[in-house]
Structure 1
Amino acid sequence: MKLVVVTAGLTQPSSTRLLADRLAEAVAQRAEVEVRVVELRDLAVDIANAFVTGFPNTRLREVAEAVTAADGLIAVTPIFSGSYSGLFKSFFDVLDNTALTGKPVLIAATGGTARHSLALEHALRPLFAYLRAVVVPTAVYAAAEDWGGGRDAFTDGLGERIGRAAQELADLLLHRAPRAEETVEEVVPFEQQLAALRRTE
């Protein structure tokens, strides 16, 4: 199975990429997957050009095709101003709006403070619901303090959240129904339709 990881981290090294890698590794421990990581920072100019010209270049088109063909997706973004990054949203805007239909998706985000964790529910989850993806119940948010393993009596640690979300995605991947082959309806020429009507009169 093919698992594509889309990460919108801007810096290098990036906590967003680190979270993406940990999620991918956790899924790979639970299901046999071939992982491909897509760094959107490397495609920023390609994405902008696609908006201006109206079509993606070869490199961006190849990435879009890989996302469309994947069996599952992990999507990770930094949180800016209480929502996903513009680069993250722009990438999914240039995809065909049917690319993620029925596809299992794990959403995750990083930010400086835990106050932005609800961005996963009010921004990312609705975005992927609109794209008709199947989003796993557990969304993973990593604030700065999470990387130290901090937790309190009311929240799971980052490792537990990663494990739970990875298991949910793996379960969807392992039990996903095979893709239905598209059926092309035969087009009957208008003249033949008229002739058939005349014969019945």
Structure 2
Amino acid sequence: MSRRILVISAGLSQPSSTRLLADQLADASRAAVGGRGESAQVETIELRELAVEMAQTMVSGNRPTPGMVDAKRKIAAADGIIAVTPVFTASYSGLFKTFVDLLDKDSLTGKPVLVAATAGTSRHSLVLEYAMRPLFSYLRAVVVPTAVFAATEDFGGDVDLERRVHRAAGELATLVVAERTGVAGLAGTGEEGVEPDAPVTDFAELLRGHDGG
């Protein structure tokens, strides 16, 4: 089975460290899904290419533009999402937040999401925990335990960054390939050998022959 992973990159320059980290996460996630016996198709949305359309949508009463309609369609079809933003003024970028504000309120419900961020210095690493994770939790997404932050100095063969990238990608892959099953006792057979539609014996019949002793 082929899974769809959507990468959302909020980098402003080309090339950008944000896109570089996004590509590393995408490659690792594709490999992790493959290691679980399935394939993954990866697609990337560059938010800077939608900047004008997002501004138009914001000031026109959320009248959808072709680019935003396509982006929403890709999010709806995705089995997992990788969201990467640069850090501006100690938080996610305005471009990134504008995109999230324009999404339908239930579009990320139950979606596995890997969050990541880049900045010039490691002093901003906590942005993932006090900004990115709460944002996606509010949207009822399933955020993987490992978030990935990369400062400028981390690029260029940093072993720790590579390790974090692969750990986060593995966590995302696990959620992406997981079968959606019902809660035990509410769906499925429950216990082995018990048929869910088996006839139920009437309670009075069960009590017949018993004197209550």
Question: TM-score under structure 2 normalisation?
Answer: 0.79
Q: Secondary structure at the match of 1:37?
A: strand
Q: 1:113 aligns with which of 118, 121, 124?
A: 121
Amino acid across the alignment from 2:30: A
Q: Secondary structure at the match of 2:105?
A: coil
Partners of 2:177 and 2:72 lie apart in 1 by 23
Q: Secondary structure at the match of 1:96?
A: coil
Q: Report percent identity of matched pairs.
A: 56
Task: Report the CA distance between 1:149 and its aligned residue.
Answer: 3.7
- Give unmatched runs, 5+ long, in structure 2: 34-38, 183-213
Q: Secondary structure at the match of 2:155?
A: helix
1:20 equivalent in structure 2: 22
Farther off after superposition, 169-178 or 19-28: 169-178
Question: TM-score under structure 1 normalisation?
Answer: 0.84
Task: Report the CA distance between 1:12 and its aligned residue.
Answer: 0.5
Deviations 1:105-125 (A, max 9, x none): 000000000000000000000
1:183 equivalent in structure 2: none
Q: Secondary structure at the match of 2:8?
A: strand
Kindly report the root-mean-square deviation, in angstroms, between the aligned alpha carbons of the 2 structures: 1.4
**Are residues 1:177 and 2:184 paired?**
no
2:189 equivalent in structure 1: none
Q: 2:75 aligns with which of 57, 64, 67?
A: 67
Task: Report the CA distance between 1:176 and its aligned residue.
Answer: 4.4
Higher helix share: 1
2:155 equivalent in structure 1: 147
- Change in Cα spacing, 1:178 to 1:97, as seen in structure 2 (3 Å) is farther
Deviations 1:79-128 (A, max 9, x none): 01110000000001000010000000000000000000000000000000
- Change in Cα spacing, 1:48 to 1:158, as seen in structure 2 (3 Å) is same
- Change in Cα spacing, 1:176 to 1:94, as seen in structure 2 (3 Å) is farther
1:10 equivalent in structure 2: 12
Deviations 1:45-103 (A, max 9, x none): 00111101122212211111111221110000000111000000000100001000000
- Give unmatched runs, 5+ long, in structure 1: 151-155, 180-201
Matched residue count: 174
Partners of 1:53 and 1:178 lie apart in 2 by 41
Which is greater in Rg? 2
Partners of 2:179 and 2:84 lie apart in 1 by 22
Task: Report the CA distance between 1:148 and its aligned residue.
Answer: 3.2
Runs of 4+ in 1 over 3 A off after TM superposition: none
